[in-house]
Amino acid sequence: MFNNLTPPPPDAILKVMQQFRDDPRSDKVDLGVGVYRDATGVTPVMRAVKAAEAHLVATQDSKGYVAMAGDTAFHSAMAALVLGGVVGAERIAAAAATGGTGAVRQAMELIHTANPQARVWISQPTWPNHPALAEAAGLEWRPYRYYDAENGGIDRAGMMADLDGAREGDVILLHGCCHNPTGADFTESDWADIAAFLERRGLIPFVDIAYQGFGDGVDADAAGLRHLAARLPRLMIAGSAAKNFGLYRERAGIYMVVCPPAERDTTQAMMAWLNRSSTGFPPDHGARVVTTILNDPMMKDQWLQELAEMRARVNGLRAALATALRKETGSDRFGFLGAQKGMFSLLGGTDAQIARLREEFGLYLVGGGRMNIAGLKEDTVDRVAAGIARVLND
């Protein structure tokens, strides 16, 4: 049986992770996988997380199973964080998942269970795993134009022209904030236009919000999603605590459905069942850490402050890189970097150019030129800018 297997396609991000690990040079710079790093290059355990974990060690008296959909206290805490109270609990179904990736996968399974004919529309470019997760759930997906590489913003006309091909009941996958890989986000008026379009056409939004808090703040970053939730009858959400709580390996994610109250209980039951038929019970530790922090005013304040520090650091590095590139190129060619949001920006570049950055300069970017800004350090900005200017500024 196993001799029938063919090797799976390489994952663009994991490939860069491996290449970086295999590189013996001490001055190599990892601008690949989307993890936050501090000024010493470390992905730290947040102090609020340490406090919550210490509390759990002291007080937790069982590791028994929780529930197929995870802990309802986690659902409530995450619903409040993401939705900010714009819809009542009677409209929210939720289930914990194995990280943001598991949340997207389970949401895709739910779409397939509810309507196998639904097509999922995915931005081009997007996080490389999105199409794979749709396919794994047996769903057909279609691309829509999103990025305007000329000005580093959104190709609104191209996007609307492509989405015009969606049929009633199709699902439109949107990035809630800090678009991965471009860093180009919708404005408030874009969200209003999108909501009106989805409403008119009977389309269902599915918002992946993996980077809440890395753009302008936890509430500002969820404003577009909340607008959709308040205005439309149905919305799907995949949330993650990997980045904003620094809980990457704990796999703390959640998927939620906002729907009419009459649809809520069956949706909730189906989400629990879908968990049962994949992971059985979702992981609990990271989810419990998040719940502990969000329900304790002092820990929550501490967490918000640390998140604000991380956001400020990434924004500072963005600005520093934009300035260094302006100096290196004598132009505003990379000026868009300063205006974009979150960990990522897309610098462009052919496969050969990305390979040259890696081989000659020790700079590791994902194919297409996705750069993790949080992988920079104050003392690598100038060297990275020089390499980029030499290789990409033609």
Q: Which residues are catalytic?
A: 127, 208, 210, 243
- Compute the distance between CA of residue 181 and CA of residue 183 in angstroms, rounded to an integer: 6
The answer to the question of residue 180 lying near ligand LMR (CB under 6 A) is yes
Closest by Cα among 159, 234, 162 to 203: 234
By the rule CB under 6 A, 34 interacts with ligand LMR = yes
123 lies in the site for ligand LMR, by CB under 6 A? no
380: left (phi over 0), alpha (psi -120 to 50) or beta: alpha
Q: What is the dihedral of CA 84, 86, 90, 94, to 10 degrees?
A: -40
Q: Does 304 bind ligand LMR (CB under 6 A)?
A: no
- SS3 (DSSP) at 200: helix
One character per residue 52-91, x = contact with ligand LMR (rule: CB under 6 A): ----------------------------------------
Task: Give the shortest CB-170-to-ligand LMR separation in angstroms.
Answer: 25
Cis omega before residue 282 (within 30°)? Answer: no
Compute the distance between CA of residue 120 and CA of residue 114 in angstroms, rounded to an integer.
13
Q: Residue 127 or 206: which CB sits closer to ligand LMR?
A: 127
Residue 137 and residue 109 in contact, taking contact as beta carbons nearer than 8 Å:
yes
Q: Does residue 245 belong to the site contacting ligand LMR (CB under 6 A)?
A: no
Q: How far is the CB of 373 from ligand LMR (least distance, A)?
A: 12
User: Does residue 95 sit in helix, strand or coil?
Assistant: strand
CB of 230 to ligand LMR, least distance (A): 28
Tokens of 107: 């949401």
Question: Which residue number, 101 or 291, has a Cβ lying nearer to ligand LMR?
Answer: 101
Amino acid, single-letter form, for residue 194? I
Does residue 33 interact with ligand LMR by CB under 6 A? yes
Least CB distance to ligand LMR at residue 38 (A):
18
What is the size of the binding site for ligand LMR (CB under 6 A)? Answer: 7
Q: Kindly state whether residue 369 participates in binding ligand LMR, applying the rule CB under 6 A.
A: no
Q: How many CA atoms lie within 13 A of 7 on its CB side?
A: 3
Neighbouring C-alpha atoms within 13 Å toward the C-beta of 92: 25
CB 260, min distance to ligand LMR, A: 32
Closer residue to ligand LMR, CB minimum distance, 121 or 127: 127
Binding to ligand LMR in span 129-168, by CB under 6 A:
129
Interaction between residue 268 and ligand LMR (CB under 6 A): no
| 340 binds ligand LMR per the rule CB under 6 A | no
Query: Is there binding between residue 364 and ligand LMR (CB under 6 A)?
Result: no
Q: 120 - beta bridge partners?
A: 141, 171
The answer to whether 42 touches 30, Cβ cutoff 8 Å, is no
Based on the shown chain and the rule CB under 6 A, indicate whether residue 214 belongs to the binding site for ligand LMR.
Answer: no
Cβ neighbors of 276 (< 8 A, separation 6 or more) are 68
Q: Can you tell me which residue has the tokens 């992770």?
A: 17
Of 127, 214, 245, 255, which one interacts with ligand LMR (CB under 6 A)?
127
* Binding footprint of ligand LMR on the chain (CB under 6 A): 13, 33-34, 101, 127, 129, 180
